[in-house]
Structure 1
Amino acid sequence: MASSHSSSSLTISPRKLHYDLYSYSYKEDSNTPLVINVLASLIERTMARTQRIVKNCSKVLSKEITTKIFDCREVPDLTIQSYLERIFRYTRAGPSVYVVAYVYIDRFCQNNVGFRINSRNVHRLLITTIMVASKYVEDMNFRNSYFAKVGGLTANELNELELEFLFMMNFKLHVNVSVFESYCCHLEREVSIGGGYHIEKTLRCAEEIKEKGYTQIARVML
């Protein structure tokens, strides 16, 4: 019989998420914000939909929805969840930063209809939007070079991505209170489906993935 400790189920209630979004403690030993789990799952589902679209569409349509913007030469061997956790570990960006980053990702995709989130661009898109969101939300921030190290990029690469992102967003970065709250409500609705939000994790696989990912970007780790 398999051990009950071989896997675990993390249940996030809307109440927990709401409390975390609006009352998060910024202590050094703070736990990873719950919004990271939800955001990772949402993006993974978006990527899965993109794969189905590309698979089912004709070659012509597939070419139309493919873009080289933010594409990396080699797909990082690091899950979205692990990548977001790494960003949090080294930047300590609070939940509001990830919500604003989610707003930016949504706007970016709406403004650029040919763009589709996939395994080749998701990591660069995340580190760019989180860095820009952090600059918008936080009073004090790390330099671009620091975010680049955290994200596994060079400073020049991240600078270029940030500039490209800003122009493609038409510099529309303002997120008012009502918009922020609407996205928070959307995240809460996501976790309320079925009376709770269940994220299944196999601990052994998760650790292997993290080790591989951390080894791959060891050259730029702090």
Structure 2
Amino acid sequence: MDSSSLTISPRKLHYDLYSYSYKEDSNTPLVINVLASLIERNMARAQRIVKNCSSRVLSKASTKIFDCREIPDLTIQSYLERIFRYTRAGPSVYVVAYVYIDRFCQNNLGFRINSRNVHRLLITTIMVASKYVEDMNFRNSYFAKVGGLTTSELNELELEFLFMMNFKLHVNVSVFESYCSHLEREVSIGGGYHIERTLRCAEEIKERGHTQIARVML
């Protein structure tokens, strides 16, 4: 099913995100549906821009590292669900990952998210966001297996990503809240939705600050 056509119940979204449990049998956070839909629209918009404009601004050679030889036979929704199923990364991780994706695109104006690079970009940003937000993390080798990459490939993607981000990984509470609001607006046409904005997650982000950068490099 196309995630953009998925009807999200305001009450269910509210309950899942305010009462999210990190147990093994937890349901998939509904923020994943919103993020998948948002990225799909971003890709469609980028495709129209490329088609309608002369490509005077080209992607840097370094961003080509995210291109895969063969496009994975997985939708963005399915890929995000797979990552959650095997990592149990909480909702705040996906919000921070979205912050990173936005920053990455702003820092690399010639970069366009497309079907060839989106999966590698997602697994990289989610892994880095998980290291930033959560206390317990899987090794890179595990994330690589979940994402369908070799460990050396994911290590290289992570290192390239960090340098292209100028290691600017800190996400303060106000930035986190603004991206939550943006994600809310994506699904707020039919009612008032709430994306993971528990005080616990916000305080965790605030307390960690720049000290998390060292942990990302492990």
Shorter-chain TM-score category? Answer: 0.7 to 0.9
Task: Identify the structure with bigger relative contact order (alpha carbons < 8 Å, sequence gap 6+).
Answer: 1
The question of whether the paired residues in 2 share the 8 Å contact of 1:32 and 1:85 is answered with yes
Q: Deviations over 1:167-207 (max 9, x none)?
A: 00000101111111111111111111244899999999999
Whose strand fraction is larger, Structure 1's or Structure 2's?
1
- TM score, norm. by length of structure 2: 0.80
Cα deviations by residue, 1:130-185 (Å, 9 ceiling, x for unpaired): 00000000101000000000000000000000000000000010111111111111
- Taking a change above 3 Å as real, the CA distance of residues 155 and 111 of structure 1, as seen in their structure-2 partners, is same
Q: Which runs of 5 or more structure 2 residues have no equivalent in the other structure?
A: none
The answer to which of 178-187 and 199-208 deviates more is 199-208
The alignment status of 1:124 with 2:120, answered yes or no, reads yes
The question of whether the paired residues in 1 share the 8 Å contact of 2:100 and 2:169 is answered with yes
Structure 1, residues 54-96: CA drift from partner, whole Å, max 9, x if none? Answer: 1111577799xx9523000110010000000000000000100
Cα distance in 2, alignment partners of residues 199 and 182 from structure 1: 11
Distance, in Å, in 2 between the alignment partners of 1:33 and 1:62 is 33
Q: Structure 2 CA distance, aligned partners of 1:18 and 1:10?
A: 16
Map of 1:114 onto structure 2: 110
| TM-score normalised by structure 1 residue count | 0.78
Is the Cα–Cα contact under 8 Å of residues 14 and 188 in structure 1 kept in the other structure? no
How many angstroms apart in 1 are the aligned matches of 2:111 and 2:20?
33
* Correspondence for 2:182 among 183, 186, 190: 186
Consecutive unaligned residues in structure 1, runs of 5 or more: 1-5
Between the two proteins, the alignment pairs up a number of residues equal to: 215
Task: Say what the alpha-carbon RMSD is for the aligned residues.
Answer: 10.7
Identity %: 94
Q: Which has the larger radius of gyration?
A: 1
